[in-house]
A and B are shown apart, each in its own frame.
Chain A
Amino acid sequence: MSTNRIILGLVLLLLLIFPAFNMPYPNTFLIILFLYILLAQSIDLLMGYAGYINMGHICFFGIGAYTFGILWNKGLHLYISFVAGGVAAVLFALLISFPFFRLRGHYFALATFALVKLMEHLTLNLPSLTQGSDGLMVLQGNRMIPMYYLSLFLVVAVIGVTYYITRSRLGLAMASVREQEQIASDFGVPVQRTKTTAMVIAAAFAGLMGSFYTWYTIFINPEMVFGIEIALMPLAMAMLGGSGVIIGPVIGAIFLFIVEETLWTRMAYLHTAAYGLVILLVGLFMPGGLVRLRPFRRALMRVGLYQEI
């Protein structure tokens, strides 16, 4: 058995039996971490592989969150509402893929960013549907253990799917779109379909995680799911960890999360500034992300975890 499989297996095993240790705080800790990892990983599907920086990725998350909340409050069964969150996000992705993929580069990035603001405003302005600024509250469904396993499952799924994509024709198509879209199209690569597929997959995961989030935090409001900070976070994490490498966003999410945690509990003041400084330094000195740093890369390669398209 190759090293990477052993490592992955061990990590997975540890995570699976973790709840048995019965530590509520680390449990919460891990669930949030899984959330971050999933968001970072899903944004990278379109960013690192297809080369489109979707700064509005969080819209999928928010739409999933609200869809779940609205449907569950109306009495729809829990599982159906949950899946509906993902479905709504996918539908939204399909909706915007045609017009938005006509834009390139910076235009695409900024237009999608505008989408976030748009969604935030729409949510605020349709209070009959979303309770607007009051926020949406769902029934108390705070059961730690099923929640833990659900989020773990989603994270493993998104990483697994990303892995399979890198080995599939879709992955190859995405890479060609990233490198030279015009030439790829000339050579017969179904560019539009490739991009849309990538976005849809990313949206599905983000949307499901959105459903989970509402279930978990019981209360959401537009700022929480469409706010600037949460919108920029997956972006920063994926870039910081290493965009285009499967394990990159995971590392990025873990890194930023730990930095956040340690800074927060150690420094009463200025921890956000320190956080910003860390992001700045990484951007300046490690532009390919942490994973592409030579020592890291070597270590990961030796272990077989360094996979990019």
Chain B
Amino acid sequence: MEIAIQLVIAGILQGGVYALAAFGLSLIFGVSDVLNLAHGEFLMLGGLVTFLVFEATGLNPFLTGLFMLPMTFFLGYMFDRLLMRPLATKKEHVRIMSSVLVTLGAAITIEDGISFLFGAEEKGVDYSLPSFFWGDIYISYLRLLAMVMIAALTVGIHYYLKKTFTGRALRATAQNLRGAMLVGVDTRVIRSVTFGIGSLLASIAGVFYVVLLSIAPDMGLSVTIKYLCIIVLGGLGSLIGSLVGGVLLGLTESVVSYYTPHWGQTAAFLMLVGILLIRPKGLFGK
């Protein structure tokens, strides 16, 4: 019984970290209608900067994460401004293709570049908070923090989208591009802002990665695939969807891994494919 609780807790918490990263991707997709294959790179960069700062100064990684936010926002904004904006005006079929090419090319270049500049080996940060023990069950404070953070972010973003002007502009762009332009929203800027926010979220997830596990320059593409699958599972464009999707994935992995470690990851993907076939638009898809 205890083990079951432990597994569920571990799964949910792991899912929290997944959801954090998937959030940003979902946001970007909802507004810009773009498959961002370079999302994982921002995660990696977030973790990398945290690592470098930690190595040099020993600064608390979360503090570094905080200071890093404006920087990653700017990076994401510029990424969209320079690379993705020209693509927005193309026909849908062409747009999907070119966004795949551009983001894929960017991802490959960033991975190799970082690998060259900073070394390709795994980097981890030694920062731990004690775990909370309850009999034989343990809950890691860090993961709990991740969970709390993502819950807070969900609420925060929800309010942002509902109440602030930019937020509403974002939703408008996501719903109807032409309509939003008609009412005076500068959709191009909105898209870049969204990209910035999405990348920001990814870098926060990166901080968690480097603290809880480790990061490596070549991790980008594989994590991106995972997150793409999560947002599809949850439903493209739905923030709740990515949260639920992430947690669901974490849970499945955790529980199945207990019985057969090998099938843990497979089960997660089987579930993804299964859910998509029952609900073609994902769990909460529009």
Contacts and interface: CB of A to CB of B under 8 A. Distances in A.
B91 to A, nearest CB: 9
Interface stretch (B9-17, B106-114, B186-194): B106-114
B162 interface: no
Interface string A153-193: 00000000000000000000000001000000000000000
A249 B170 CA distance: 37
Nearest to B96: A53
Interface string B223-245: 00100110010001000000000
B71 interface: no
Interface in A242-277: 243, 269-277
Contact of B225 (A102, A113, A277): A113
Contacts of B87: 283-284, 287
Interface string A270-300: 1111111111111110011000000000000
Contact of A103 (B98, B106, B222, B280): B280
Given A107-B282, A122-B266, A277 B109 contact: yes
Contact of A113 (B95, B228, B262): B228
A232 B113 contact: no
B80 to A, nearest CB: 13
A269 B102 contact: no
Nearest to B97: A239
A281 B105 contact: yes
Contacts of A103: 276, 280
B97 A111 contact: no
Q: Give the contact-size bracket for chain A.
A: 35 or more
Contacts of B107: 276
A287 B83 contact: no
A280 B263 contact: no
A287 B99 CA distance: 9
A274 B116 CA distance: 12
Nearest to B98: A287
Nearest to B261: A125
B36 to A, nearest CB: 12
Nearest to A239: B97
Contacts of B98: 239, 283-284, 287
B182 interface: no
A236 B229 CA distance: 20
A105 B263 CA distance: 29
B276 A228 contact: no
Given A110-B232, A121-B266, A122-B266, A273 B273 contact: no
Contacts of A109: 35, 96
Contact of A118 (B109, B110, B273, B281): B273
Contacts of A144: none
B179 interface: no
Interface string B255-266: 000001011011
Contacts of A114: 225, 229, 232, 269, 272-273, 276
Interface string B114-129: 0010000000000000
Interface centre among B90, B221, B269 (most CB of A within 10 A): B269
B276 A107 contact: yes
Given A117-B225, A121-B266, A277-B105, A111 B90 contact: no
Contact of B280 (A102, A278, A284): A102
A240 interface: yes
B104 A273 contact: no
B108 A287 contact: no
A33 interface: no
B56 interface: no
Contacts of B232: 106-107, 110-111, 114
Nearest to A275: B108
A107 B100 contact: no
Contact of B99 (A104, A273, A283): A283
A280 B269 contact: no
B280 A273 contact: no
Contacts of B270: 118
A236 B101 contact: yes
A243 B94 CA distance: 9
A283 B94 contact: no
B109 A276 contact: yes
Contact of B105 (A51, A104, A278): A278
Given A110-B228, A111-B232, A228-B221, A280 B109 contact: yes
B63 interface: no
10 contacts: A100-B277, A107-B276, A111-B272, A113-B229, A125-B262, A272-B112, A273-B108, A274-B109, A277-B105, A283-B101
Interface of A: 51, 53, 99-100, 102-107, 109-111, 113-115, 117-118, 121-122, 124-125, 178, 228, 232, 235-236, 239-240, 243, 269-284, 287-288
Interface of B: 29, 35, 83, 86-87, 90, 93-102, 104-113, 116, 221-222, 225, 228-229, 232, 236, 260, 262-263, 265-266, 269-270, 272-273, 276-277, 280-282, 285
